[in-house]
Amino acid sequence: MSLMRRLIDELPAQLRWAAAAEVPELALATEGLVLGMGGSGFAGDVAAVFAEAQGVRVAVHKGYGLPGWAAAGHIAVVAVSHSGNTEETLSGVEAAHTAGLAVAATATGGVLAQRASEWSLPYLAVPPGAQPRAAAGYLAGATLRLLESAGVVTGTVAALTEAADVAEALLAGDAPAVAGEVAASLRGRIGIIYGSGPLTAAAAGRWKAQLNENGKVPAWWSVLPELDHNEIVGWAALPAIGSDAVGVVFLHDGGEDARTHRRAQLTAELMAPVHVAGTVASRGAGPLARLFSLVVVGDLVSVAVAEQAGIDPVPVAVIERLKKALAE
């Protein structure tokens, strides 16, 4: 079993750590803005899904600086960087601090921890060790707890606990077998992940990123119903690619719109001969548990894809080379 496969098994413990974490007090706000990139940025995607289920807006900014509207809003800004050294996120923290916005941070250390200390920003340290993509429970959980401290969302402890229970049951149950079947169906193919609403869109983005980083394969994701207005037509002229070179995985959630669910069924039929590599449905009651149930399977698929190709899922050498080149 690879290191990354063992790290996936740590997800329930990470979520429980977040549920029990001692969280600093934040100034109250009506909405949130999460700054983060890559594996750290997924914490913002999770927070946005959780907040939407409560009728609240949490936006996610994956880039330099701040979105133009941020300075005018009554928002809680949460900066997430596993290393604490992500340059895009740090630029956003500096811009938010200069604008006088309420900023909180979560990281394992690095420059972000230093800025939090220097500027007296609320800070929640997450345990070090894992790579950002293998610390989703820590980072998403910490982000949710900070947003709750700001009054943006509620009920995070119970939600994190349920998500941990569901993830644990899946890992001990049929999730590895389901993931193995999907990975086998994706062998030698570009993975395309189709979501069916906001929750599965976040999960699809996670699947895509994990296939990239763990599986070392190209992948993309789209979401229904939007893809029925464009992407569904894009297979017409290149049927051989659809049948031989790609594999589509449909993600479903019990809370999705009935018409969207029907669209997914019809889309799979009308895309033929595009290869459908599998269909995965969420489990659990609350939105956080349902989202992480899909994350568990996707993470396992990405590692299985790497292992069946004889590739170590942990190293991301090209990203390290890019960071080095940017620093020169």
* Sequence-distant (≥ 6) Cβ neighbours of residue 321 within 8 angstroms: none
**Which of these is catalytic: 229, 269, 324, 328?**
229
- Residue 32 tokens, joined: 């949130």
**Which of these is catalytic: 148, 162, 213, 256?**
213
* Sequence-distant (≥ 6) Cβ neighbours of residue 146 within 8 angstroms: 23, 24, 26, 76, 78, 104, 106, 122, 124
Rg (CA), the chain: 19
Q: What is the C-alpha separation between 85 and 104, in angstroms, rounded? A: 15
> What are the backbone dihedrals phi and psi of residue 92, each rounded to the nearest 5 degrees, phi first?
-70, -40
- Residue 277 tokens, joined: 């590599």
Q: Is 162 a known active-site residue?
A: no
Amino acid identity for residue 292 in this structure: F
Q: Is 62 a known active-site residue?
A: no
User: What Cα–Cα distance (Å) separates residue 277 from each residue in 240, 283, 286?
Assistant: 16, 20, 27
Q: Is 213 a known active-site residue?
A: yes
**Which of these is catalytic: 74, 226, 320, 323?**
323
Helix axes 38-52, 198-213, angle to 10 degrees: 170
274 and 267 Cβ atoms separated by less than 8 Å = no
Strand 102-107 to 75-81 pairing: parallel
- Residue 150 tokens, joined: 């700001």
C-alpha angle 214-220-222 in degrees, rounded to nearest 5: 135
Q: What is the C-alpha separation between 110 and 301, in angstroms, rounded? A: 31
User: What is the secondary structure of 144-168 as a DSSP string?
Assistant: HHHHHHTTS---HHHHHHHHHHHHH
* Sequence-distant (≥ 6) Cβ neighbours of residue 4 within 8 angstroms: 134, 214, 303, 306, 313, 314
Q: Which residues belong to the active site?
A: 213, 229, 323
